Amino acid sequence: MQINTLSTTAYTDQKPGTSGLRKKVTVFQQNNYLENFVQSIFNSLDGFQGQSLVLGGDGRYFNREAIQIIIKIAAANGFSELIIGQGGLLSTPAASHIIRKYKAFGGIILSASHNPGGPDDDFGIKYNVNNGGPAPEKFTDALFENTNSITEYKIAEISDLDLDNIGQQQIDDLIVTIIDPVADYAELMASIFDFELLKNSISAGFITLCFDAMHAITGPYATRILEDILGAPKGTVINGIPLEDFGGGHPDPNMAHAKELTDLMFAEDCPTFGAASDGDGDRNMIMGANVFVTPSDSLAIMAANAHLIPAYAKGISGVARSMPTSQAVDRVATKMGLPCFETPTGWKYFGNLLDTGEITLCGEESFGSGSDHVREKDGLWAVLFWLNLIAKRRQPVEQIVQEHWQTFGRDIYCRHDYEAVDLEIANGIVEHLRNQLPGLAGQSFGDYTVKYADEFSYTDPIDNSVSNNQGIRIGFEDGSRIIYRLSGTGTVGATLRIYLEKFEADTNKHDQDAQHALSFLINLAEQFCEVKKRTGRTEPTVIT
């Protein structure tokens, strides 16, 4: 094949966030914008010539065009095999599994996760390393440096490939393998969970369910596993056809955006179980009849009940959570005598802990949970975990949650998101908070006395790498917390996230509405950060 080396000009805005580079589609469509970033990925790697690369995405707008470009650049740079999901589709957890199963050198995943899709909306790209997990900060820092100095890229002069037919294609020394995007992942799930128990529970009518794929990547996965393999009735999976614009919806699995599912689960004669996943399939929302399970509680409940799942029947080695996630799983770990790690937000921080066997389960409050089966969070895995748990305990979701709170207490928790905040204002809020930190410890506000006020820094216990500036924490003597963080997942301005948490041991107070129970902390959080005052807004964009 003919390899062309073309001159290019660097872009200065290609700094990867916690999950790669996310921008508007129109930004990626700029001359050589995608080409620069992909070449910079390869410029940051060593020893990949003659190796295999996994490639796929969530099917959003620009997915197919981007894959054809990446194929040509990967071929020009010396990869010997490309493993690509049929139609250019791979969920993020499935891509992680494919990298691990076929011992690929790494993978490129095309997704902007739970962000909207379409010609005027978002696109994203990230590189995953050979353990199947997101590239570590050391790599993404080097990648950013390369994006700022790039002057040329290599591209093969070949025709666009057929992505829709399963099988192998060969172009000179390059083998391109188009795979069924679901088959390997479904096989993995069957090795973790008791599929026979689930089939029997569904056929007997003990479990009725609805899964909202939100017109995103998990539609084919959920349909194959829940309907075809486990025997759930046709129509159990709603919004199951992946669309380039997610049907005009926002593929974020929360009660605000998965409104069709939420309305169903709070109606009369609702199913016993409801769930949703996001754009690329790594997030999950868990619901029961007239009940929503917070992601923090979900992680804690999974940890407490992991022994009921076949793959974890012999016990789990430890747990980890992102810093803003509630301390519910910490209480489970303490009672069970398990190690518990607190990491920054971003799944890559769990990688070393999983690789060395320090933990088995991990999760984030942002609707993400997972285990050592892959190196990404995994939405359908969490759904199957809960279904297996319900079938094994023979209890509905609400009873499982209530009994968990009776045993461990309840961490009342919520998150307030202020989206698309002007970046200068958002940075001003953070600086305003930083300036207050030295004088807050020891101060009292109503019944709350500040125990510590700091900016979270994490030292990886495995490789001793340090990650600073990972969120501002204000912790109180009773264990309550207010946390502030600027999210890196949006593409317009900045998203300020405020996390609020208090512990309630009294079982008579477990049924409190979270917003009411946290009202004092909510007002105190505004007093500290002044987000409403500085932005002119009267309420958060989203409350979860």
pLDDT per position as a tens digit, 100-159? 999 999 999 999 999 999 999 999 999 999 999 999 989 999 999 999 999 999 999 999
Average pLDDT for residues 213-220, to the nearest whole number? Answer: 98
Which whole number is the average pLDDT over 171-196? 97
State the number of CA atoms in the 13 A half-sphere of 370 facing the CB: 29
Q: What is the reported pLDDT for 491? A: 59
Tens digits of per-residue pLDDT, 312-356?
A: 999 999 999 999 999 999 999 999 999 999 999 989 899 999 999
For the chain, which residues make up each domain, given as ranges? 3-181, 184-408, 410-543
Q: In the predicted model, what is the mean pLDDT of the chain? A: 96
Q: What is the arithmetic mean of pLDDT over 394-407?
A: 98
What are the residues facing 287 on neighbouring strands?
Answer: 274, 292
Residue 487 confidence (pLDDT) above 90:
no
Which residues of 90-141 form beta strands (DSSP E)?
A: 106-110, 122-128
Number of Cβ within 10 Å of residue 450's Cβ equals 18
Q: What is the pLDDT of residue 257?
A: 92
- The Cα–Cα gap between 336 and 340 comes to 11
What per-residue confidence (pLDDT) applies to 493? Answer: 80
- What is the per-residue pLDDT for 18? 75
Measure the CA–CA gap between 386 and 82, rounded to whole angstroms: 35
pLDDT attached to residue 387: 98
Closest Cα to residue 369, out of 412, 331, 320, 410?
320
How long a stretch of residues is the chain? 544
What are 490-503's pLDDT values in tens digits?
556 889 999 999 99
Average pLDDT over residues 361-390: 97
Q: Rounded CA gap, 371 and 302, in Å?
A: 10
User: What is the rounded average pLDDT of the residues 222-246?
Assistant: 98
pLDDT score recorded for residue 446:
95
Pairing of strands 481-487, 472-476: antiparallel
Mark whether 113 is an active-site residue: yes
Q: Which of 162, 160, 176 is nearest to 84 (CA)?
A: 176
Considering the chain, what percentage of its residues have pLDDT values greater than 90?
95
Chain segment 460-475, per-residue pLDDT in tens: 999 999 999 999 999 9
Residue 504, pLDDT above cutoff 70: yes
Across 396-422, average pLDDT: 96
> What CATH code would you report for 184-408?
3.40.120.10
Q: Is 538 helix (H, G, I), strand (E, B) or coil?
A: coil
Residues 6 or more apart whose Cβ sits within 8 Å of residue 516: none
- Residue 489 pLDDT level (bands cut at 50, 70, 90): low
Q: Which of 83, 122, 87, 120 lies closest to 104 in space, CA to CA? A: 83
Indicate if the pLDDT at residue 35 is higher than 90.
Answer: yes
Query: 14 phi and psi, to 5 degrees?
Result: -105, 40
pLDDT tens digit string along 71-80?
Answer: 999 999 999 9
Residue 477: C-alpha distances to residues 45, 227, 441, 472, 525 (Å): 47, 49, 10, 17, 16
**410-543 CATH fold:** TATA-Binding Protein (3.30.310)
The per-residue pLDDT for 19 is 80
Alpha carbons 179 and 61: distance in angstroms, whole number: 21
- In CATH, what number does 3-181 get? 3.40.120.10
Is-same-fold flag (3-181; 184-408)? Answer: yes
Q: Which of 96, 113, 277, 298 is catalytic?
A: 113
> Taking residues 398-411, what's their average pLDDT?
97
User: Per-residue confidence at 17, pLDDT binned at 50, 70, 90?
Assistant: confident
